[in-house]
Amino acid sequence: MNDRLRLFFRRRNKLINPRYQVKVALAAAVSLFAYSIIFGALIFYPLSVQLSSGDGNGMIAAEILALHKRLWPAVFLVALLVFVQVILASHRVAGPIYRLEKALMELARGNYKERMRLRKGDQFREVEPIVNSLAESLEKAERSGAFARAEAVERLKEIRRLAGSSGAKESGDIKKKADEALRILGIDG
Per-residue pLDDT tens for 158-167? 777 777 676 6
CB 146 within 8 A of CB 153: no
Report the Cα–Cα distance between both ends of the chain, in Å, rounded: 67
> What pLDDT band is residue 31 in, cutting at 50, 70 and 90?
confident
Interatomic CA distance for residues 68 and 47, integer angstroms? 10
Hey, how many other C-beta atoms are within 10 angstroms of the C-beta on 66?
Answer: 10
Interatomic CA distance for residues 14 and 1, integer angstroms? 20
For a pLDDT cut of 70, what percent of the chain falls above it?
83
Identify the pLDDT of residue 42.
76
> SS3 for 168?
coil
Identify the pLDDT of residue 3.
61
CB 67 within 8 A of CB 57: no
Dihedral in degrees, nearest 10, Cα atoms 89, 4, 7, 136:
-80
> What pLDDT band is residue 96 in, cutting at 50, 70 and 90?
confident
The mean predicted confidence, pLDDT, of the chain is 78
Q: Which of 57-61, 66-70, 101-105, 179-183 has the highest mean pLDDT?
A: 101-105
Residue 55: CA count within 13 A, CB half-sphere: 8
pTM, 2 dp? 0.53
Name which residue leads in pLDDT, 81 or 71.
81
